[in-house]
Amino acid sequence: MGLPITRLSTNDLTSVATDRGPVPMQVGAALLLEEDSGPSAAELASVVEQRLARVPRLGDRLRRAPWGCGRPYWEAASLGTKGLVTIATAPFGDAGLVGTAVDEVLRRLPRDRPLWRAVVYADTAGRARGLAVVMHHVLADGIGGLAVLVELVDSDETRRPKGTPIPAPSPAPSPAPSPAPSHRDLARDAWTQRWSALRAAPNTVRGLVAGLRELGGIPRREAGRTSLLQPTSSSRCVEMVEVDLAPVVAAAHAHGATVNDLLLVAVSGALRPLLAARDEQLDHVLISVPVSGRSATSSADLGNQVGVLPVAVPLDEDPALRLAAVRDQRARLGTLAPRASSGAVLSVLFRGLAAVGIFQWFVRRQRLVHTFLTNLRGPAEPVAIAGTRVRRLVPIATVPGNVTVSFDVLSYAGRLLIAVVYDPDCLPDHALLADALAGELTGLTVHE
């Protein structure tokens, strides 16, 4: 038998099976650079291509196995990472650049190439102003995305004094492409995996039971009817809300809570005036919070290890009552199951719906959650790329189906940035929501 065959995991399969609608299962980030010291766009594009070529998975493409030969697998692409970094004209202002990055996330990646791309944005003088990186969700979850970021930014060895020339990046190693596995190798590997899965069946059943507990059990509370849930278009936009991180951490600790708890309270509080302006009433808002099965990973081990934790936050005017409800649910659900065990349950459900062709029908009508909140801990200190400081890191994750607004949060260099991702056709009052969210965060962090 030849080289080991790397198959998709259960969670990875879910990302592929459910990628059917107008909004692709893709995630990304916008890196906004200091404008007075940026390298030329061509120099930055060269650095990005060289560095991302070091991440093994980014040089692979996804292949479907022949019938009976098991799950899809990764195979070295003939061109590797060549041609995946392009240069575009930078729009005016941070909001314009982030908006263009969102459009890149919504532009579907071709399946015959590695499932990522990067775009360097250049000003009229040809100097780099920013960078957008887009990956299919099958490549990595949020923790994996941060591992890729580590490879992209300058290390201690590659940092240079401001204003000095950029050294030519050393070429990434270019080993000969591995031979594609034969039909026989794929079939043998598939049967080996099936036998292993059969032997592990008792553990699998226990994992599914644990996953149901993480999801809150079945039957569970249904999301109330609201205009927050309606069929969405293929467009998405972003409002950015940014605050200092230290006061948020201090306020969370003062209340015996986590930063994520406080964010749930802030999001629910911000939705109150939005719903009131629409003459709608809800007792609670159901927020889906991704839960990672690992605290960290390396660029050599990407993929997805994520479950979800649904949290019902009452829409009470008193934030203390909302926080108490969030803490109680986290304490109860967080100790009942291994982290991310719900991913297996959702994989069975979503892949089953996709197999019979009704997944899109389901997600456009679901009433399991009202919105999503994703929170990642980014670098605590400022990072640089090609010798230029990254002044802002903006996460971009889109949600298909009938969820009209979601919240992507990333801490970076002492700041907490919340990207409010919304469908402009369904959320014309997005500015009201963003202002309310900023006000909630300010109110929660004021020390009496």
DSSP-derived letter for residue 191 is: H
Both structure tokens of 13:
């399969």
Residue whose entry in the numeric block shows the structure tokens 């314009």: 96
pLDDT of residue 388: 92
* C-beta separation of 402 from 422 below 8 A: no
pLDDT digit string (tens) for 115-145?
Answer: 999 999 999 899 999 999 999 988 887 788 8
- Alpha carbon dihedral 423, 424, 427, 430, in 10-degree steps, equals 110
Mean predicted confidence (pLDDT) in 406-424: 96
pLDDT digit string (tens) for 49-90?
Answer: 999 988 888 989 988 888 887 778 888 888 778 889 999 999
Q: Report helix angle 319-334 to 259-277, nearest 10.
A: 130
Burial environment of residue 299 by CB neighbours within 10 A (0 to 12, 13 to 18, 19 or more): buried
* C-beta separation of 50 from 172 below 8 A: yes
Q: Assess whether pLDDT exceeds 90 at residue 446.
A: no
Could you tell me the end-to-end alpha-carbon distance of the chain, in angstroms, rounded to an integer?
68
pLDDT digit string (tens) for 154-177?
Answer: 986 455 555 444 544 444 455 555
> Mapping DSSP to helix (H, G, I), strand (E, B) and coil, where does residue 252 land?
helix
Higher pLDDT, 297 or 435: 435
d(CA 410, CA 430): 20
pLDDT of residue 314: 92
Number of C-alpha atoms within 13 angstroms, CB side, residue 241?
Answer: 24
Q: Assess whether pLDDT exceeds 60 at residue 409.
A: yes
d(CA 216, CA 84): 42
Both structure tokens of 411:
């801490």
Please state, rounded to an integer, the average pLDDT across all residues of the chain. 83
Bond preceding residue 219 cis, omega within 30 of 0: yes
pLDDT digit string (tens) for 257-288?
Answer: 999 999 999 999 999 999 999 999 899 999 98
pLDDT of residue 235: 94
DSSP E strands in 207-305: the ranges are 237-244, 284-292
> Mapping DSSP to helix (H, G, I), strand (E, B) and coil, where does residue 82 land?
coil
Q: What percent of the chain has pLDDT over 70?
A: 79
Confidence tier at 96 by pLDDT (50, 70, 90) = very high
pLDDT of residue 1: 47
pLDDT of residue 404: 95
pLDDT of residue 180: 74
Q: Which domains does the chain have, with CATH numbers?
A: 10-169+179-183 (3.30.559.10), 216-378+398-444 (3.30.559.30)
Higher pLDDT, 310 or 313: 313
> In 155-166, which positions are buried (b, 16+ CB within 10 angstroms) versus exposed (e)?
eeebeeeeeeeb
- DSSP strand pairing (237-244 vs 415-422): antiparallel
pLDDT of residue 205: 47
Please name the helix (run of DSSP H) or strand (run of DSSP E) that holds residue 102, with its range, or none. helix 93-106
Higher pLDDT, 316 or 362: 316
pLDDT of residue 216: 56
d(CA 128, CA 197): 49
Confidence tier at 305 by pLDDT (50, 70, 90) = low
pLDDT of residue 259: 94
Geometric angle at alpha carbon 440, from 371 and 430, rounded to 5°: 50
* C-beta separation of 434 from 421 below 8 A: no
Mean predicted confidence (pLDDT) in 343-355: 67
